[in-house]
Homo-oligomer: A and B are copies of this chain.
Amino acid sequence: MIHQRQCPIETIIHVLGGKWKPQILWHLIDSTKRFSDLEKLIPNASQKMLTQHLRNLEQEGIIERKIYPTVPPKVEYSLSDYGKTLLPVAEVMCAWGENHNKQEIREPAS
Enumerate chain A interface residues (CB-CB to B < 8 A).
2, 5-13, 15-17, 22-23, 26, 60-61, 82, 85-86, 88-90, 92-101, 103-104
The answer, among B8, B23, B99, for a CB contact under 8 Å with A98, is B8
Pairwise interchain contact A96-B85, C-beta atoms closer than 8 A: yes
List 28 A-B pairs, Cβ < 8 Å: A2-B104, A7-B26, A8-B94, A8-B96, A8-B100, A8-B101, A9-B16, A9-B90, A9-B93, A9-B94, A10-B22, A10-B97, A11-B97, A12-B93, A12-B94, A13-B93, A15-B97, A15-B100, A17-B17, A60-B100, A85-B96, A85-B99, A86-B96, A88-B92, A89-B92, A89-B96, A92-B93, A93-B93
How many Å lie between the Cα of A9 and that of B26 in the bound state? Answer: 10
| C-alpha spacing A94/B41, complex, angstroms | 30
> A100 contacts which chain B residues (CB < 8 A)?
8, 11-12, 15, 60
Q: Which residues of B contact A22 (CB under 8 A)?
A: 7, 9-10, 13
Cβ contacts under 8 Å, A86 to chain B:
96
